[in-house]
Amino acid sequence: MNEVATLSPVTSRHDRPFVLTKEYRRFEEFCEACRRERYIGVCYGPPGVGKTVSARHYAQWDLLEGQDPLDQNTVVPMEVAGCRTLLFTPRVSNTPRLVREQIEHGRLMLRSLVGRAEHDAMSSERPDFSERCELILVDEADRLTTQSLEELRDHYDREKVGLVLIGMPGLEKRLSRYPQLYSRIGFAHAFRPLSQEETLFVLRKHGHGWGQDWNDDDFTDQEALAAITRITAGNFRLIDRLMAQVVRIMRLNQLNTVNKEVVDAARECLVIGSM
Ligand SMILES: Nc1ncnc2c1ncn2[C@@H]1O[C@H](COP(=O)(O)OP(=O)(O)O)[C@@H](O)[C@H]1O
Ligand SMILES: [Mg+2]
């Protein structure tokens, strides 16, 4: 398809609404179980399937992230009153002390914001700043050093919160080398890519999020959808990147409809190795 002009590869980072996928529902149930039973859980899955955005969604992290617990002037949204989860992402280089400080700060933030949100909602006399954290989600848990893992285990033992370690496949095997921690793990959860059926469903229902609405009766559209589903193999990040290229190529060539050739041209623009 030589006549189609293409641009150099890009990675899209635009914000689209979160999609409640079946995988997210499974993740949610898993987190609920770890919270309720105060267990340690391990969640592992390949890059790009949606682990981080799912953890953020579950913890309602957009409402909490970066808030200053001591700043009394900010308005705390009402929904914060129901937050009981802390999302903790260790730095690339981490020490037990840094881990402890980050978690303590996060818990303080949760206590303070939940207390204020409740107070605003119920206009009670005195805000209740008691402990609210019931679950800690640790994203990028592969980054944790042995000592940092030990620090987390100690925190878990003392505070009796649920703990979910999120990382790449292989994390669960690495953890099995630390019997102290491993013996406390109650659940392991594999975060999987979208099935073919669900990829098609998500593309159809949420196409506008990528700037593309599909026509169910048009064979060209269906062929393009099938190509996107095949190429991306249920990986959300790849869908994002491929669709960003599709839209750019269409704009560049002043096309109004996507077809399989455009999808193939978009695929060639991506540096994706195994895709
Ligand atoms: N449920 C979802 N709804 C909307 N977008 C999603 C969803 N899951 C993943 N994504 C998209 O895929 C990208 C990669 O997801 P991310 O959570 O960073 O993957 P992982 O942490 O597994 O590597 C996100 O930036 C987001 O754009
Ligand atoms: Mg991630």
Question: What is the CATH classification number for the domain harbouring 69?
Answer: 3.40.50.300
Domain boundary among 162, 190, 218: 190
Task: Write the pLDDT tens digit of every residue in 97-137.
Answer: 999 999 999 999 999 999 999 888 887 678 889 999 999 99
Residue 166: pLDDT above 70?
Answer: yes
Q: Which of 66-75, 196-205, 265-274 has the lowest mean pLDDT?
A: 265-274
Pocket of ligand 1, candidates 236, 240, 243: which has the most ligand atoms within 8 Å of its Cβ, to mutate? 236
- Residue 13, domain member (yes or no): no
Do 118 and 201 have their domain in common?
no
Judge whether residue 186 has pLDDT over 90.
no
168 and 214 in a common domain: no
Output the pLDDT for position 248.
92
15 has pLDDT over 80: no
The domain in which residue 109 lies consists of 22-190
In a domain, 238, yes or no: yes
Q: Do 131 and 97 share a structural domain?
A: yes
**Which residues line ligand 1 at a C-beta cut-off of 6 Å?**
16, 18-19, 21, 24, 45, 47-53, 236-237, 240
- Is residue 11 included in any domain, yes or no? no
CA–CA dist 130, 114 (Å, integer): 9
Which ligand 1 atom sits nearest the alpha carbon of residue 20? 1
Predicted confidence (pLDDT) per residue in 223-257, tens digit: 999 999 999 999 999 999 999 999 999 999 998 88
Domain end call among 190, 205, 228: 190
Q: Does 97 lie in the same domain as 28?
A: yes
DSSP 79-136: GGGG--EEEE---SS--HHHHHHHHHHHHHHHHHHHHHHHHHHH--SS--------EE
Same domain flag for 64 and 165: yes
pLDDT above 90 coverage of the chain, percent: 73
115 falls within a domain:
yes
Q: Name the pLDDT band for 74 (thresholds 50, 70, 90).
A: confident
Tell me, yes or no, whether 53 lies in a domain: yes
